Structure 1
Amino acid sequence: MDKNQATGLVLIALLVILYFQFFAPDPVEPENKETTTEATTTPEEDVKQTETTITAVDDSVLNEEIKQKYGIFAAGGQGEESFTTIETDYLKIDFSNKGGVPKNVILTKFKNSSGGPLVLFNDSSNNFHLKATASGRQVDLHELYYTANKSQKGDSILLSYALNLGEGKSIEHIYTIPKTGYQVGYQLNLNGLKNYITKDELIYEWNDRMIAQEKDIEMSRRNSTINFYTTDEDFDNLAEGSNSLEEASVEGVKWVALKQRFFIAAIVADKSFGKGKFSTNINPADTNTVKDAKVRLTIPLEDVTSGTGNYKYFFGPNDYYLLDDVADEFSRNLALGWPPMKWVNKFVIIPLFDFLSSFIGNYGIIIIIMVLIIKLALSPLSYKSYVSMAKMKVLKPELDEIKEKHGEDMSKAQQEQMKLYQKVGVNPVSGCIPMLLQMPILLAMFYFFPQSIELRQEGFLWANDLSTYDSILNLPFTIPFYGDHVSLFVLLMTMSTIMMTYSQQQVSTVQGPMKAFSYMMPLIFMFVLNSYPAALSFYYFVSNIVTFGQQTLIRKFIDEDKIKQILEENKKKNANKKKSKFQQKLEDAMKAQDKKKK
């Protein structure tokens, strides 16, 4: 403020003082009390009257703004938010009269990685919108205020949120919360509003920043997505492992699931939704949020005006046996892999795991017993594979002689080797077939253990939680493709794999780069599995130990001299034996390839 401005303000202040001192009108003398009671007020009453007048004007303006914004729904445009908490043996849900929606959902039988309540979502991470178009304006029905009414129906609690719009028009959100389980029924009714809503569909939006529940945020992100099932009986999902924006649009949706690694929040239609649009994205800097998931569905107006707008929410664990009862194909939220891994998990691993869990409480012991049972069942294949390798070892001198004889003519060498195999009655791939038959089981475990909620927060030996990595050392830096920690079970698995590989090499004919590569594989898996669940690496470690023991035992029952004698006898028997059709075709193919090269 400069000098002139200051001088001006002083002069204005002096003029105001002089005016009220010399020119202000005299106060009016009060008349007789008996005749002037209604007109007479104290200064305090004057203030109150003024405030009342101002409030009335503000309310009028506010009411006009609400009418402009909400139109026919203006009766619910203002109010005071209040909450109704429903708590069962499985769920604790806070419902709000603002919007008539669940604001906070807690799964009471589970804890988060810090040991606190497992909050599936809350008001700050999650929001719902339900938009209707009436008289040219779009109104979010989940912004309106409703009247709550709670009642009992059998073992279930009925919680309704109603908004009376007059003249037979109303909106109702009705929730049915059973005493047990994770399913919450939801009915949406728009009574007497069919002729007022100008579009034949409502828009339902569900935005959820999935709250991190597990220690390993990266593993959680790799196993979190939006799954959906369409009226064409097509199950689909957004890419789980993506770190960028994923989107999809479909027609006709039966259900949508916001699926995390171990928990699911989903909505299921009794009939169906219309169009669906879904997206997921990741903010790497936000370690409290797994993924940002957005769901946009259209709801046919006819359903909610005719009383058939029936839906249900599922707020619960990603448990195989629970999911089956929710909706068609809902169990596919638990990814069991592609066939045949899926079949192995569904019909072998899960039933066996659940059977053992029914009377054994230690999951480390259960894993050991699973290994023993599976290895015992596969022992005939293991024996056959080992015998095949022993036969190839006996034949190795003759195979080397053929290679040396034909030098660089690989085609000719292969033909001669095939003739030798025919004479001695050995199938060179017979040792691989048993191994291939065992691969689906090994790969099935790769899907089963990372998603087995039974292992969550269950410890064994030094591993506090078998569903995540067992870190025995946190590194001060991050090693590319390895991580910032050391998993002991992975180290044990790696060493046991190298030991087993060495044992197999004693009867194997593999030479050169392939032999060196067989020792590289354990090191590659050490990097890959370092951040995977401890249960998985522990299973592979125990499996390696048992396999090593099997090989040692089988070796004691295999006499290489006796095998050599049998092969020599086969040579004599098959000296004049005609080639099989397969062998002839294989030989012809080799010859044709040889001619093509020349």
Structure 2
Amino acid sequence: MKNFSPRTLLWLVFAGSLLLLWNNWQLQHMPAPTASTAAVESKTSGAVTPASASSTSSDAKPSNSAEGFQLKGQALLLENDVLRLKINTEGGVVQLAQLKQFKNNHDDSLNTVLFNSASSDPEVKNPNQVYFARSGLANAELGLNHKTIFTASAPESVMKDGQDAVSITLTAQNNGVTLRKIYTLKRGSYLVDVKHEIDNASANAFVPRLYLDLARDTSDIGDSRFYVTYTGPVVYNEENKFKKVPFADIAKGKVDYTTKADNGWVGMVQHYFVSAWVMPEKVERTFYTDTIQSRPFAAYNVGEITSLPEVAPAGQTSFDAQLYVGPQDQKTLAAIAPGLELTVDYGWLTIIAKPVHWFMGFLHAFIGNWGWTIIALTILMKLAFFPLTAASYKSMAKMKALAPKLKVLQEQYGEDRMKLNQATMELYKAEKVNPAGGCLPMLVQMPIFIALFYVLQAAVEMRGAPWMGWIKDLSVPDPLWILPVLYMITMFIQTKLNPTPADPMQARMMLMMPLIFGVTFFFFPSGLVLYWVVSNIFSIAQQWYITKHIMDPAPKP
């Protein structure tokens, strides 16, 4: 580390920050691929999706014809205390899903909406949007799929006091075969039990092929304004574990996931929320993704298909699946299916972020307010790293004490950078000062604090959670900009407490950092900014304490 330069580290941090901001801006503002573009790319490249590449007569995907995304059936209401669903009699498509305990980011009078697809339903706000869940039999000769018109047991089923579950049954018949779809919602649950019952009154035996899939377009990719979180399909199985399948990769036919397994699930994720189809374990299934040609945006689907046991004449069979439509609550998701909690996107530091999230939940159980929980967690983490912080501040204090001597060297060697660097290193060696000593302890702590950043960004618990006074929602930016301004002030104080860099340009950059990051934080969730403000204030207090009570007092001249 003899050639390590704090200036190099500063440039890396600065360049990385600019790259991150530029990348997020590009992702947030780049045009979504249109349906026609996706179609041309797919046809000209000759690429096919894994499912179509491996398709046989026993696992063919459902048809994705361009016409007919305007649902023409009747919208049925299925509702419990937390979830409001509209199920269309055309194919039993789940066309609308409202989360009653999560309000719209822009209008507190409205519920958060996940599924929201074109139909005559007046509750559908965007008539061009495609986001729904569907299922059916892939046997083309049976004609019992997501385009079939079903009859309903009732126009609505709304949970009342004293009820533990509500359900609706859809029934369709063709060529002597009857398919029933039974949708059941239990109290307090975002999980929909979907049972498919098949009766064969025909003269021939057949093997039903059942598909479950989710489709959405790129018209709305989440509610974050400045930073970007992943929105799109995901596939999970024990072989590949958790795999993101971006819309752009599907459009190009360049996807990479295991297509056949006897376990796993498929889902659509966005910031804070997820929808997923879950089949029972030890059931052979084929995963697939595809492009749906729709206007005005390209739409994509992800699904799984399985072959059921042969149904003889006068025979019947059934299959139970589950559809989750709700928040990314890690404890709930982990109990539904292995790996489902991984839809909470912690990036590359998941192994650290998950324990941090657990500890936050532990603290919240005692504190009861997520804002104060963030403050408590930040202070506890700063205390835990106090020995490393003390070592860092001691090193910086030694560097600050050498500032006059470094200035003399600058005046002595002028523009001769080589001799200046050589003399500077000799001074460090003579004074037993490591120029990297102030940085290395900070670098050791960096993964923990980055993991906490991811936790605060991804945790659905922050959404709609108030702190105090003007902060009504920790997941949205500070409406009065008080926290970003406090961040700039505290960061400026920290900068002044640290040794002034010998390089004038480096010194100017250090003074600019509070402004650069402060402006960025005007657009970040207030929960994240609260964490940084508390971290800065506590760091200032730590630095003052170390200087006054731990460092040896400087000798008098």
Q: 2:82, 2:99 within 8 Å by CA — same for their partners in 1?
A: yes
Aligned partner of residue 359 in structure 1, secondary structure: helix
Change in CA separation of 1:537 and 1:278 when aligned onto 2, cut-off 3 Å = farther
> 1:143 aligns to what?
148
Flag structure 2 segments of 5+ consecutive residues without an equivalent: 1-71, 119-128
Aligned length: 456
Q: Does 1:553 align with 2:553?
A: no
Larger Rg over CA atoms: 1
> 1:28 aligns to what?
none
Q: Name the TM-score, length of structure 2 as normaliser.
A: 0.69
Change in CA separation of 1:191 and 1:564 when aligned onto 2, cut-off 3 Å = farther
Following superposition, the deviation at residue 223 of structure 1 comes to 4.6
> 1:317 aligns to what?
327
Q: 2:175, 2:202 within 8 Å by CA — same for their partners in 1?
A: no
Aligned partner of residue 275 in structure 2, secondary structure: strand
> 1:173 aligns to what?
181
> 1:268 aligns to what?
278
Distance in 1 (CA, whole Å) between partners of 2:453 and 2:529 is: 10
- Return the structure number with greater relative CO, CA threshold 8 A, min gap 6: 2
Distance in 1 (CA, whole Å) between partners of 2:254 and 2:78 is: 35
Following superposition, the deviation at residue 120 of structure 1 comes to 2.8
Distance in 2 (CA, whole Å) between partners of 1:220 and 1:382 is: 29
Q: Name the TM-score, length of structure 1 as normaliser.
A: 0.64
1:277 to 261, 279, 289: 289
What are the superposed Cα offsets for residues 444-475 of structure 1, whole Å, 9 maximum, x if unpaired? 23322222222222333223322111233xxx
Q: Does 1:493 align with 2:487?
A: yes
* Paired residue type of 2:524: Y
* Paired residue type of 1:178: K
Q: Does 1:520 align with 2:520?
A: no
What are the superposed Cα offsets for residues 530-564 of structure 1, whole Å, 9 maximum, x if unpaired? 21101111221222122122222222235566589
Q: Does 1:366 align with 2:373?
A: yes
> 1:48 aligns to what?
none
Distance in 1 (CA, whole Å) between partners of 2:224 and 2:553 is: 57
Aligned partner of residue 548 in structure 1, secondary structure: helix
Q: 1:131, 1:202 within 8 Å by CA — same for their partners in 2?
A: yes
Aligned partner of residue 347 in structure 2, secondary structure: coil
Q: Structure 2 matches for 1:284-433, cutoff 5 A?
A: 294-297=300-303, 299-302=305-308, 307=317, 309-339=319-349, 342-348=350-356, 350-396=357-403, 418=425, 421-422=428-429, 424-433=431-440
Following superposition, the deviation at residue 387 of structure 1 comes to 0.7
* Paired residue type of 2:301: V
Q: Structure 2 matches for 1:209-228, cutoff 5 A?
A: 216=223, 218=225, 222-228=229-235
What are the superposed Cα offsets for residues 513-537 of structure 1, whole Å, 9 maximum, x if unpaired? 2111112222221332221101111
% identical aligned pairs = 26
Following superposition, the deviation at residue 102 of structure 1 comes to 3.1
Structure 1 vs Structure 2 CA RMSD:
4.3
Aligned partner of residue 366 in structure 1, secondary structure: helix
Change in CA separation of 1:315 and 1:105 when aligned onto 2, cut-off 3 Å = same
Change in CA separation of 1:563 and 1:198 when aligned onto 2, cut-off 3 Å = farther
What are the superposed Cα offsets for residues 234-279 of structure 1, whole Å, 9 maximum, x if unpaired? 3222459x89978764423732222221222211222354141156
Change in CA separation of 1:238 and 1:166 when aligned onto 2, cut-off 3 Å = closer
Q: Does 1:208 align with 2:216?
A: yes
Aligned partner of residue 438 in structure 1, secondary structure: helix
> 1:53 aligns to what?
none
Q: 1:185, 1:312 within 8 Å by CA — same for their partners in 2?
A: yes
Q: Does 1:162 align with 2:174?
A: no
**Which deviates more, 185-194 or 225-234?**
185-194
Following superposition, the deviation at residue 360 of structure 1 comes to 2.5
> 1:117 aligns to what?
111
Q: 2:77, 2:86 within 8 Å by CA — same for their partners in 1?
A: yes
Change in CA separation of 1:280 and 1:449 when aligned onto 2, cut-off 3 Å = farther
Flag structure 1 segments of 5+ consecutive residues without an equivalent: 1-79, 473-486, 566-598
What are the superposed Cα offsets for residues 474-503 of structure 1, whole Å, 9 maximum, x if unpaired? xxxxxxxxxxxxx33212212221121112
Change in CA separation of 1:435 and 1:142 when aligned onto 2, cut-off 3 Å = same
Distance in 1 (CA, whole Å) between partners of 2:310 and 2:147 is: 15
What are the superposed Cα offsets for residues 169-198 of structure 1, whole Å, 9 maximum, x if unpaired? 322323343334222222334444999799
Distance in 2 (CA, whole Å) between partners of 1:466 and 1:213 is: 20
What are the superposed Cα offsets for residues 29-64 of structure 1, whole Å, 9 maximum, x if unpaired? xxxxxxxxxxxxxxxxxxxxxxxxxxxxxxxxxxxx
Distance in 2 (CA, whole Å) between partners of 1:231 and 1:304 is: 27
Q: 1:96, 1:103 within 8 Å by CA — same for their partners in 2?
A: yes
Change in CA separation of 1:336 and 1:410 when aligned onto 2, cut-off 3 Å = same
* Paired residue type of 2:103: K
Distance in 1 (CA, whole Å) between partners of 2:442 and 2:307 is: 58
Distance in 2 (CA, whole Å) between partners of 1:280 and 1:535 is: 38
Distance in 2 (CA, whole Å) between partners of 1:488 and 1:246 is: 45
Distance in 2 (CA, whole Å) between partners of 1:499 and 1:131 is: 66
Q: 1:264, 1:318 within 8 Å by CA — same for their partners in 2?
A: yes
Distance in 2 (CA, whole Å) between partners of 1:196 and 1:518 is: 79
* Paired residue type of 2:102: F
Following superposition, the deviation at residue 385 of structure 1 comes to 0.8
